[in-house]
Amino acid sequence: MRQLAIIPNPHAKITLFSWNGKYLIKLEKGSFEQTYKVSELDLTGEEDIHRLLDNEFVQAAVARFAAMQTDLQAAFDRHDI
């Protein structure tokens, strides 16, 4: 796996990788991660990735991080951990 770029964003750390004919878009916030795999054949280049990462996409991912935190906390609570 080769790291291509770290894409600045105030809401999450975004790292772009190339691996096995795919671009991997990794978003991190705290202890949570989301990874999206996109075929290199579906895009004309790295510039398309930057266009995909528009405000709407990032805001949805940030909301998903909040849901992940809620789900994890609920599991802890259910099991008194």
Q: What does the pLDDT average to over 13-18?
A: 97
Determine the Cα–Cα distance for residues 63 and 4; give it in Å rounded to an integer.
26
- Mean pLDDT, range 63-69, rounded to an integer: 98
Confidence label for 30 from pLDDT (cuts 50, 70 and 90): very high
Residue 58, pLDDT above cutoff 90? yes
Q: 């190339």: which residue's tokens?
A: 18
Q: Residue 62: which pLDDT band, with cuts at 50, 70 and 90?
A: very high
Residue 26's pLDDT band (boundaries 50, 70, 90)? very high
pLDDT of residue 4: 96
Cα 33 to Cα 60, 78, 80: the distances in Å are 13, 23, 25
At 73 the pLDDT is 98
